[in-house]
Amino acid sequence: MKRKILITLATGILCLTGFSQIPDKTKLDNYFDTLEAHNKFMGSVAVSQNGIIVYSKSIGFADVENQLPANENTKYRIGSISKTFTTVLVFKAIEEKKLSLDQTLDQFFPAIQHSEKITIKMLLSHRSGIHNFTNDTDYLTWNTQAKTEKEMVDLIAQKGSDFEPDSKAAYSNSNFVLLTYILEKTFKKPYAELLTRYITKPIGLTNTYYGGKIDIQNKECYSYRFAESWEPEPETDLSIPMGAGGIVSTSTDLVKFSDALFGGKLLKKESLELMKTVKDGFGSGLIQLPFYGRISYGHTGGIDGFSSVFGYFADGNISYAMTSNGSNFNNNGVSMAVLSAVYDLPYDIPEFTTYVVHPEELDQYAGIYSSQQLPLKISITKDDNKLIAQATGQPSFPLSASGKDKFVFDQAGIVMEFNPSEKTMLLKQGGGQFLFTKE
């Protein structure tokens, strides 16, 4: 659900081999203790095999201001993982012959451009061409304000179409907001009630539901960004994302959902196979998460300061989930450590060191850097005692000194190594190295 705010140069860096019962849980616990001690990550993870939880861990705070620790029952907004739940509900409607994949959008929302060509299947697989409203620069100026169905449909209709339906695929939250309204009209029931009736109650998800205003008393948590300390993020009003990003859950509930979905407890086999059918990077409510030759099916999520992921590996019957309400680290590294521990692969407990740089030294790094390897420029500026980086078309992010001429942004796994005398900067991320030269 959340707009992209980081440079992304690589995806999928986990390697899976033969499964074993986490041979060294103590090391994995130490890994998370280290992240917590250095304010790198707040959240929870869970892993199941054959429907049994084999590891779970929660660190950080549900409420930083009141120092309320998170635990296994702390509930997080799961952002776009909600789309997988919504897709299950759509296929429930199809199995009950209330909807069909070929049904067109004009039967529900004729004001949407190309609605007579856009099918339910296109909405599910991001092939509708409908503009993604969360991509707009003004989105974060109104996302905390409640919206009615009419207001959201009017807004989506006004944004129009980005391409001819079914000509390609492009991620759009608008698709799943419209699918939410279609479900409510089809079943004549609120989305929250459908979620309970068809998914959470039948498979016993006691901590999963359509959210509202964050309620700490109900074991929900706030979300945060790290800027010298944990700072609260604004709270998106969930009347906006609906079934595109409005569900609250836990990591343990997410692995239970994964086990039930891929274990045939929610949908017929043919419906699940349709969900898993990928074209141009998207299935229906699912994406493939490849890890060195193996494929998992699942989804990622992000809304406000929350981030999440779940995936199911048929080879081993393993489900993994992570939910987070604050990260000052590369969350893919968290997933890599957990799954490496599960599969008895080597991984390191990170060492976090600080390096003191005097403010006047920072001036030598400032400038605009370009590369022949990547079609973007990176601007480096000084703000008080920090360096700030900003890539073409991306929001800025702070850099922390980790050594002489070396700066990092742990949240995206970015390392920048400067050579002031040669006016160059080596960018490292996701195993790649890219040489930039100051203009």
* Interatomic CA distance for residues 338 and 228, integer angstroms: 27
Distances (CA, A) of 207 to 1, 45, 60, 77, 234: 21, 15, 19, 11, 23
273 membership: H or E segment, kind and range:
helix 269-276
Query: b vs e for 61-81, b when ≥16 Cβ sit within 10 Å of the residue's Cβ?
Result: bbbbeeeeebeeebbbbbbbb
3-class secondary-structure state, position 3: coil
Beta bridge partners of 302: 307
What is the separation of C-alpha 6 from the centre of its chain, rounded to a whole number of angstroms?
12
Give the per-residue pLDDT at 359: 86
* Interatomic CA distance for residues 86 and 124, integer angstroms: 9
Identify which of 127, 123, 87 has the alpha carbon closest to the alpha carbon of residue 105.
Answer: 123
* Interatomic CA distance for residues 36 and 32, integer angstroms: 6
Give the per-residue pLDDT at 21: 67
**Within a 10 A sphere around the Cβ of 216, how many other Cβ atoms?**
14
Query: b vs e for 1-14, b when ≥16 Cβ sit within 10 Å of the residue's Cβ?
Result: bbbeebbebeeeeb
Residues 6+ apart with CB under 8 A from 416: 389, 399, 406, 407, 408, 425, 426, 427, 428
Give the per-residue pLDDT at 4: 40
* Interatomic CA distance for residues 102 and 109, integer angstroms: 15
* Interatomic CA distance for residues 315 and 296, integer angstroms: 9
Give the per-residue pLDDT at 228: 81
Q: Which domains does the chain have, with CATH numbers?
A: 1-352 (3.40.710.10), 359-438 (2.40.128)
Give the per-residue pLDDT at 110: 97
Distances (CA, A) of 383 to 86, 274, 387, 418: 43, 50, 6, 18
Give the per-residue pLDDT at 1: 60
**128 is written with which tokens?**
């509708």
Residues 6+ apart with CB under 8 A from 356: 401
Residue 60: DSSP 8-state: S
Per-residue pLDDT of the chain (439 residues; tens, 9 = 90+): 644 433 333 333 333 334 446 778 999 999 999 999 999 999 999 999 999 999 999 999 999 999 999 999 999 999 999 999 999 999 999 999 999 999 999 999 999 999 999 999 999 999 999 999 999 989 999 999 999 999 999 999 999 999 999 999 999 999 999 999 999 999 999 999 999 999 999 999 999 999 999 999 999 999 999 988 999 999 999 999 999 999 999 999 999 999 999 999 999 999 999 999 999 999 999 999 877 677 899 999 999 999 999 999 998 899 999 999 999 988 988 998 998 898 888 888 988 877 888 888 999 999 999 999 989 899 999 987 889 999 988 888 888 888 899 998 887 888 999 999 999 999 998 778 999 999 9
